[in-house]
Structure 1
Amino acid sequence: MQYADLHSHTTASDGTQPPADNVKLAAAAGLSAVAITDHDTVAGLEEAIKAGREYGIKVVPGVEISTVYAGQDIHVLGYFIDWKDETFLSRLAELRRVRDRRNEMIIDKLQELGLDVTMDDVIASLQASKKAEETVGRPHIADALVRKGYVANMAEAFDRYLAKGAAAYVNPPRIEPATAVKWIIDAGGTPVLAHPGLYDQDDVIPKLKQAGLAGLEAYHSDHTPEQEVHYAALAESLGLTITAGSDFHGERGGVVFHAPLGARRIDAAVCDRLHEQRGGRL
């Protein structure tokens, strides 16, 4: 059987590996396919697709869109999108502007807490300068906190300051997940709800199914075995495609963030199913 990891991040958002490296790692992990799903950007896709031809790996063009539902961050994955569609690119650019504002709000709260951290410190912690179409996220801020000595590691940065309910957490207005589903369908893609076990918002899933949601990421590195069983069964009951993803972000401070690429994988035939479901063709 051939396998796919349908959730990975690169330096185009908050991963630490260039897109080509993710593809190389997928080959080393024995995968036949990997999805590049950076946050609110498709800036890493061209490099990844080129690398896919080099390594004989199918690269699924994807994105992970940030939304809010009932005060909770909800992420919607889009697969096989037309990543050169001008309308879609414009919508992603607007999401990145919201993300930039969120980052500024986090920095303001950290400074209110007496931590001498600036956006310049965050930028200095990046392994490479960011292009306009790439994103800066909370892991980059966590890196700055570690470098400044305020926390020992990424986990402490999130637990104390950046995770939901932590001291510097903020959640500015964002689009709803149903809007992200529509945008992905408009761009000819297939929408899948990312890591539903992190939300405690199962009520949103049938609503998103009505909006055109095509799949559910039942198998994820942060899901418990019980959650994986639960969401696989829920997906089947709703007629949603079951997907799997490591949510690989690379290594920070000697620790792989979320899990190694390929740690969660699924039959690569699922890629064909997602391809068939493009643009709402269920």
Structure 2
Amino acid sequence: MSKVDLHIHSKYSDDGEFSVTEILDRCKGLEMKLVSITDHNSVKAVADALECNAGLRVISGVELDCTYKGMNFHLLGYSFDHTRREFSEIEQDIFTQEMGAAEEKIHLFRKATGIPVSIVEVVTAAKGGIITGELIGEIVLAKENASEFEVLKPYLPGGVKSDMPNVRLYWDYFSPGKPAYVPIRYISLPDGIKLIHKANGFSVLAHPGQNLSNHYNVLNKIIAEGIDGIEVFSSYHSPEEKTYFLNVAKQNGLLITCGSDFHGKNKPNIQIGCHGSTLDDRELIENIIERQGSGAL
């Protein structure tokens, strides 16, 4: 297990489980040396981390949903000034869109699966937060009669998708191109890079093996947009992908980072520090510290 993890989600992510304090306490117990909480389109964790003073090295982080060349990507930002209003505006805009799309998501899911789930029970479970595909999955999989629905059996205990049932159901029904997908307008990847740079931070392409979908030719175009690094070591990457992205990063002089994408219950098989890095932690830390901007924690 690595002592560096730059891709962790707190409850400020719509699919995260733990508070910032709980995460930092866990990191401290694991004797982590460098971490970053990178919530989806939210920088609220940065202020919490500042207040925690957990006794370990933490750098500010965020994971922005972006679009580029007709594809969806996740852009990680690090060591930036989290007080810039653009970040809170992005969070509010996406929240508004997601809440507006919630009823349509539920309608499309019912239509595709025949599973009865109401907007009332989903809104109640959301407790004022974003209504996500993972949440809808959690609700229907917890129903007493879930096993009666053939479409849910792969996600139930013992099923082929039971390792991460909520998120796998999301991928199968609510992600782009799937039956219950409702499009959300995200910022463009170039604009995301510019925003992070304007905030004195550095930008990293998250788990490219998961988002490129074998369109590796797009990676060179992303690099040309001015991205600073690649999340080479990810819990989603195969050994071959790690080697490929490591070589790309080295050839282009890009920062090499690592992240587990820890969420908690929605991705129970992903743990902090477990991303398969083959580099020495000291090398990873030195490279990150060297690239830190004035927005660093």
**TM-score normalised per structure 1:** 0.84
Cα displacement (A) at 1:108: 2.8
Q: Which amino acid aligns with 1:197?
A: G
Q: Secondary structure at the match of 2:187?
A: coil
1:79–1:274 CA contact under 8 A, matched in 2? no
Cα displacement (A) at 1:60: 1.3
Structure 2 distance, partners of 1:155, 1:63, is 20
Residue of structure 2 equivalent to 1:122? 122
Structure 1 distance, partners of 2:171, 2:138, is 14
226-235 or 20-29, which deviates more: 20-29
Aligned-residue CA RMSD (Å): 2.6
2:42–2:87 CA contact under 8 A, matched in 1? no
Q: Secondary structure at the match of 2:60?
A: strand
Cα displacement (A) at 1:179: 1.5
Residue of structure 2 equivalent to 1:191? 203
Q: Which amino acid aligns with 2:83?
A: K
Structure 2 distance, partners of 1:92, 1:210, is 27
Residue of structure 1 equivalent to 2:34? 33
Structure 1 distance, partners of 2:191, 2:207, is 18
Pairwise mapping of residues 239-250 of structure 1 onto structure 2 (< 5 A)? Answer: 239-250=253-264
1:185–1:278 CA contact under 8 A, matched in 2? no
Q: Which amino acid aligns with 1:143?
A: E
1:190–1:277 CA contact under 8 A, matched in 2? no
Structure 1 distance, partners of 2:226, 2:135, is 33
Off by >6 Å, runs of 4+ in structure 1: none
Aligned mate of 2:287, from 226, 251, 270: 270
Q: Which amino acid aligns with 1:125?
A: A
Pairwise mapping of residues 177-256 of structure 1 onto structure 2 (< 5 A)? Answer: 177-199=189-211, 200=213, 201-252=215-266, 256=268
200-209 or 241-250, which deviates more: 200-209
Structure 1 residues 276 and 86: alpha-carbon distance in aligned structure 2, compared to 1, 3 A threshold: closer
Structure 1 residues 181 and 278: alpha-carbon distance in aligned structure 2, compared to 1, 3 A threshold: farther
Aligned mate of 1:161, from 162, 167, 173: 173
Q: State the aligned residue count.
A: 268
Residue of structure 1 equivalent to 2:162? none
Give structure 1 stretches of 5+ with no counterpart: none
Q: What is the percent sequence identity of the aligned residues?
A: 26
**TM-score normalised per structure 2:** 0.80
Residues 74-102 of structure 1: per-residue CA shift (max 9 Å, x gap): 11011112111123322332233334344
9-18 or 114-123, which deviates more: 114-123
Higher radius of gyration, 1 or 2: 2
